[in-house]
Structure 1
Amino acid sequence: MRVSQASDKSPASPPQAYTRLHSHFRWQVPEQFNIAQVCCARWAAQPDATKKVAICAYETGASGQFYTYSELQAQANRLSNVLTALGVGRGDRVAIVMPQCFETAVAYVAVLQMGAVAMPLSMLFGPQALEFRLHDGEAVVAIGAASALEGLQAVRANCPVLHYVLGVGDLEATDQRADLNYALALAQEDAHFTPVATLAEEAAVLIYTSGTTGNPKGALIPHRALIGNLTGFVCSQNWFGFDPAANPASAGLGDLPVGSDAVFWSPADWAWTGGLMDALLPTLYFGRTIVAYNGRFSPQTALELMRDCHVTHTFLFPTALKAMMKAYPGSARHTVRQQFKLQLQAIMSAGEAVGDAVFDYCQQQLGVTVNEMFGQTEINYIVGNCSAQWPPKPGSMGMGYPGHRVAVIDDAGAECPVGVAGDVALNRFDRHGDADPIFFLGYWKNESSTRAKFTGDWCRTGDLALRDADGYLWYQGRADDVFKAAGYRIGPGEIENCLVKHPAVANAAVVPKPDPARGSVVKAYVVLAPDFIAARPLDTVARAEFDLKLVAQLQAHVKGMLAPYEYPKEIEFIDALPMTSTGKVQRRVLRLQEEQRAQQRAG
């Protein structure tokens, strides 16, 4: 008999530690607050600032280059002076088109301490994506890596308020792609700068979300949002030893014991919420070291980097963990942790449901209980687990982090009963009636979308989950990813997790395939594990036979673990799943592809 996730009765009630954290924690947001000040200036003012490492720039096969908090602040001051000379003022948007590197951290600190608004843009954006964001966000200056300059120049004519492009990296002094050379410009400026005393409510970051339809929306994030992130960061990283009643805007929340050697790394792009708000800024807030790696992710590189840089805390997408699981399965006698001499103390994972297969791998092979986290750009870091304080349930996305009042609500805004799926939502006010500082200010120049995000004081995420009797949430997928097949409601996450447990599957995505008789049938797109790719015959006929047998094995595998109506009626092998830059599977792309194919068959 198959037992639903929501009926799991262990543990019997929310743990005492979880209840205590929630009942005692109170938000205390000062009127004036600046991210750059708490993430850099306060550490740069300490006696050990010239020795305290902020950024470790890692290169494969080479020793890392270390930059201290003193160096970070001095370079940020110089850049702030450069930007001031270019006319950048309080509230102006400055685009940052940079990879993980020291200069990117410098750019964020420089822009934020000026009271200007940082506008992160991914290095992966093509001309159309760049142009829309630069034009819509009205960026007045763009700071771009050398490899991003051609793209910036290609769209500049259509961005009339973009007055200057600052080029970073190995550039000729006369490079025409940039108005200013970063290194030369900073060398001419003073290392002292008087920061702007910003309000906590002022805008700090304008970051564009990747919506399922239409143009992306710019979410305006205030300085106070970093305070709202901190409880989730501390919990998800098992970064404990703090008083839950402490003021998170002071040095009280989550400060580590003296002599802590915590080192953080994540492959998450610092141009996205996951890299900026979940990795770079909170690590600097606690005055610790973050590793910057400007290169493609691979399981081998990730494990070697964590070994070489003595990484203790990390944020890894489920897709990254799945790739590691298939490439380095390890064994009971010789675990991956032992093989790479890992020093990991905590792993946070987000972006997709982790699933129990990855959960077990992290425990058995990496020696860490993974803490799943859930949030989105507008309201980040609101739900998750903390193995140091309460026992995670494998496959559950966890519970609301301290300070956040989270619920599963229906279309009318009422809380759903236990076991009934609904929209994950966050209330503007915590359990004590205090305003939650995590909230975004609104969508840039888009009041109607901002209003549509809310039902009363509830901010909807558009992600479906159900709550069990103990208060744990179980992710069911995006509202637009859930579908019906033969009258049954299908959540793709559970089927994908089941498929990944088979040794042949590296990753999978489940979508509806239109069917004249049943409306839709379950279809799975599968990326094969390396060993099975190598085993596929080159001969066309032999390969077809191999694939048919493997499809039957995978279908039988799902039938044996889930309900009969959930097994994929069709499986298609592909080289790679369409992914966002933040590691999320783009099921919408595959769903639209199936709809187009159905139209072609009907035509």
Structure 2
Amino acid sequence: MTALPADRRDDYPALHDTFRWNVPDEFNLAEVCLGRWARDRATMLRIAVYTEHEDGRRGAHTYAYLQAEANRLSRALRNLGVRRGDRVAIVMPQRIETVIAGMAVYQLGAVAMPLSMLFGPEALSYRIDHSETRVAIVDETSIDNLLAARPECPTLATVIGVGDAQGRGDLDWDTLLAAQLPSFTAEITKADDAAVLIYTSGTTGPPKGALLPHRALIGNLTGFVCSQNWYPQDHDVFWSPADWAWTGGLWDALMPALYFGKPIVGYQGRFTAERAFELLERYRVTNTFLFPTALKQMMKACPEPSARYNLRLRAIMSAGEAVGETVFSWCRDALGIVVNEMFGQTEMNYIVGNCTAQHDGERLGWPARPGSMGRPYPGHRVAVIDEDGAPCAPGVDGEVAVCTTDIHGHPDPVFFLGYWKNEAATLNKYVERDGLRWCRTGDLARMDADGYLWYQGRADDVFKSSGYRIGPSEIENCLLKHPAVSNCAVVPSPDPERGAIVKAFIVLTPSVERSAERDAALIAELQQHVRGQLAPYEYPKAIEFIDQLPMTTTGKIQRRVLRLLEEERAGKR
């Protein structure tokens, strides 16, 4: 058989068909991400984490240091009464204590509950109370909100202050650890034992706590290796602005980088495009995970980064929203990298994506198709299903679903254990058909004849206008191609005649001059821009310029907020 040219090589069938999972009976996140590296004389002094604060402070921390500090904290937590299965909240940004706290909890056999430093008192109190958390570890970014939430959290027995929050909790981190020996005998955990509790933001109802087992990391690894272009390689350094309190930062960056014994950069500060380029250059970052929103900001701020920065990037993974052809082309042309889109959820992460590695001039993996979220990663069986759970024909929109077993009939380790104290929601997440159990994602896509998936949006983001079914992604991508558009979101706006019209909320680039007359002309120009490229019913009949879009803490656009705003306005009209 004649080999395909380098730019057309497709290793996907062989990779996907021959892959087999190997999940040991006993498995612990702290052991595989820290312990084994800290014990080995060849790796114990290797840098595990670089840290940098926006005020200029920097640090470099070895595996041996992390292990000693984690041992001290494990001892202290045990003395505070934390036992196997108990929940410990970690409310801190990308700082070294966040890593240490997680490892200490894992080796105790307890459950780490990472919480975003952006959460207010109400969000914190709901999660801490609902999870019956015993201990919270918090720094200056969140101590005020946590103390305000504490009266609603009867199970929260101890608050440990970190950094500038010391002196404001029940115990201080520095004093607590200084009183402990740097040795600890870790608990032996099963691969199926609970390790992490992450509350999903959800689109309806209160947040749901997804309980993740230690083995879930194994299920992430095929996607991580592929999307990072055959990670690890010599001299690999990882960085991502994704918050370590979320699935994207924890499972897609921090834990897999440490699992492979490679350094990761933690930056504590506000994301800006300029700082992102500086960090990539300063730490010689080779691999990164950047949300499409971040890539859009970087593209607009620095269209030609090679003229200003000496970058060593060899892989970019992106997830959370569709990248779109505009950003895809910029990454390819300006950064010299074909961005690997990835799709996953907290409940079952890193399941679909691309891989465009190069080795000795030869392209490996499978060719990315601009606009596609990729194919199922090795070890995962993915389908697009209809409302009854039946597979959709190629090219037909449906809901993305993941089978609990791989193509060989073996259990897929990527799945969560269930929603915390919500058995009904857990059962509703699954559908059974023809002897197979599928986990629904709530995301819509279509699959082509070659197995590539094309994202159409959240099920609750798709709407009808004059009888036409409309998804926001294609319209948003088209708008983003216009030089005046920095970011945008498309939602339905209630209309008595059509049911709904297409409305676009647009963030303009800073260079655009504003006035009533210019705005009117620009709206007409943008409408014509879309009308000339998409179907006539897809162009935004209403456009509103906005300073910033509502975003989740994980970088996703909150279209639901804008949709509800339009419904409220329509009600008043």
The reply to whether TM is greater than 0.5 is: yes
8 Å CA contact 2:219, 2:414 repeated in 1: yes
AA at the equivalent of 1:594: E
CA displacement at 1:183 relative to structure 2: 0.7
CA deviations 1:29-76 (Å, max 9, x no partner) are 111000110000000011133430011012357473100001011100
- Pair 1:148 & 2:142 matched: yes
More displaced stretch, 362-371 vs 313-322: 362-371
- Pair 1:99 & 2:110 matched: no
- Pair 1:598 & 2:567 matched: no
8 Å CA contact 2:92, 2:139 repeated in 1: yes
Is the partner of 1:459 in helix, strand or coil?
A: strand
CA displacement at 1:273 relative to structure 2: 0.3
1:340 corresponds, among 303, 309, 313, to 309
AA at the equivalent of 2:311: L
8 Å CA contact 2:162, 2:172 repeated in 1: yes
2:61 corresponds, among 61, 64, 67, to 67
Is the partner of 2:11 in helix, strand or coil?
A: helix
1:138 corresponds, among 132, 141, 144, to 132
Residue of structure 2 equivalent to 1:307: 281
1:522 corresponds, among 502, 514, 537, to 502
- Pair 1:225 & 2:233 matched: no
CA displacement at 1:171 relative to structure 2: 4.9
1:503 corresponds, among 472, 476, 483, to 483
TM-score, scaled to structure 2: 0.96
Residue of structure 1 equivalent to 2:34: 40
8 Å CA contact 1:31, 1:199 repeated in 2: yes
Residue of structure 2 equivalent to 1:421: 397
Is the partner of 2:511 in helix, strand or coil?
A: helix
What aligned pairs does 1:137-176 form with structure 2 within 5 A after superposition?
A: 137-171=131-165, 175=167
Is the partner of 1:521 in helix, strand or coil?
A: strand
CA displacement at 1:23 relative to structure 2: 1.3
What aligned pairs does 1:162-201 form with structure 2 within 5 A after superposition?
A: 162-171=156-165, 175=167, 177-201=168-192
Residue of structure 2 equivalent to 1:129: 123
Is the partner of 2:455 in helix, strand or coil?
A: strand
Whole-angstrom CA distance in 1 between matches of 2:521 and 2:165: 55
Whole-angstrom CA distance in 2 between matches of 1:569 and 1:83: 58
Is the partner of 2:288 in helix, strand or coil?
A: strand
Whole-angstrom CA distance in 1 between matches of 2:300 and 2:547: 15
CA displacement at 1:468 relative to structure 2: 1.0
Residue of structure 2 equivalent to 1:360: 329
Cα–Cα, structure 1 residues 429 and 460, in superposed 2: closer, same or farther, change >3 Å?
same
- Pair 1:455 & 2:431 matched: yes
1:550 corresponds, among 513, 522, 537, to 522
AA at the equivalent of 1:355: G
CA displacement at 1:239 relative to structure 2: 2.1
Residue of structure 1 equivalent to 2:418: 442
- Pair 1:31 & 2:25 matched: yes
8 Å CA contact 1:322, 1:507 repeated in 2: yes
Residue of structure 2 equivalent to 1:249: none
AA at the equivalent of 2:188: A
Whole-angstrom CA distance in 2 between matches of 1:468 and 1:86: 55
Whole-angstrom CA distance in 1 between matches of 2:285 and 2:57: 14
CA deviations 1:205-263 (Å, max 9, x no partner) are 000000111100000000000000000000110025xxxxxxxxxxxxxxx45xx1111
Whole-angstrom CA distance in 2 between matches of 1:66 and 1:398: 36
Unaligned regions of 5+ residues in structure 1, if any?
A: 1-9, 241-255, 331-335, 537-542
1:320 corresponds, among 291, 294, 299, to 294
More displaced stretch, 298-307 vs 51-60: 51-60
Whole-angstrom CA distance in 2 between matches of 1:184 and 1:219: 33
What aligned pairs does 1:264-413 form with structure 2 within 5 A after superposition?
A: 264-330=238-304, 336-388=305-357, 389-413=365-389
Whole-angstrom CA distance in 2 between matches of 1:337 and 1:378: 38
AA at the equivalent of 1:490: I
Whole-angstrom CA distance in 1 between matches of 2:215 and 2:241: 25
Is the partner of 2:185 in helix, strand or coil?
A: coil
Cα–Cα, structure 1 residues 121 and 60, in superposed 2: closer, same or farther, change >3 Å?
closer
If asked which structure has higher relative contact order (CA below 8 Å, sep 6+), I would say: 1
Whole-angstrom CA distance in 2 between matches of 1:146 and 1:354: 34
Residue of structure 1 equivalent to 2:547: 575
8 Å CA contact 1:316, 1:349 repeated in 2: yes
AA at the equivalent of 2:340: N
8 Å CA contact 1:60, 1:305 repeated in 2: no
AA at the equivalent of 2:265: V
Whole-angstrom CA distance in 2 between matches of 1:549 and 1:178: 56
8 Å CA contact 1:400, 1:406 repeated in 2: yes
AA at the equivalent of 1:200: A
Residue of structure 2 equivalent to 1:251: none
Whole-angstrom CA distance in 2 between matches of 1:74 and 1:471: 47
8 Å CA contact 2:475, 2:539 repeated in 1: yes
1:494 corresponds, among 474, 497, 501, to 474
Whole-angstrom CA distance in 1 between matches of 2:460 and 2:533: 25
AA at the equivalent of 2:336: G
CA deviations 1:142-183 (Å, max 9, x no partner) are 0001232222221212211111000000356xx2x2111001
CA displacement at 1:339 relative to structure 2: 1.9
TM-score, scaled to structure 1: 0.91
Whole-angstrom CA distance in 2 between matches of 1:224 and 1:96: 21
CA deviations 1:521-563 (Å, max 9, x no partner) are 100000001111xx22xxxxxx111100000110111011111
AA at the equivalent of 1:424: V
8 Å CA contact 1:307, 1:343 repeated in 2: yes
Whole-angstrom CA distance in 1 between matches of 2:17 and 2:395: 25
8 Å CA contact 2:138, 2:165 repeated in 1: no
8 Å CA contact 1:327, 1:530 repeated in 2: no
Whole-angstrom CA distance in 2 between matches of 1:409 and 1:15: 29
- Pair 1:477 & 2:457 matched: yes
8 Å CA contact 2:106, 2:195 repeated in 1: yes
AA at the equivalent of 1:324: M
Cα–Cα, structure 1 residues 324 and 210, in superposed 2: closer, same or farther, change >3 Å?
same
8 Å CA contact 2:140, 2:162 repeated in 1: yes
Q: Percent identity?
A: 62
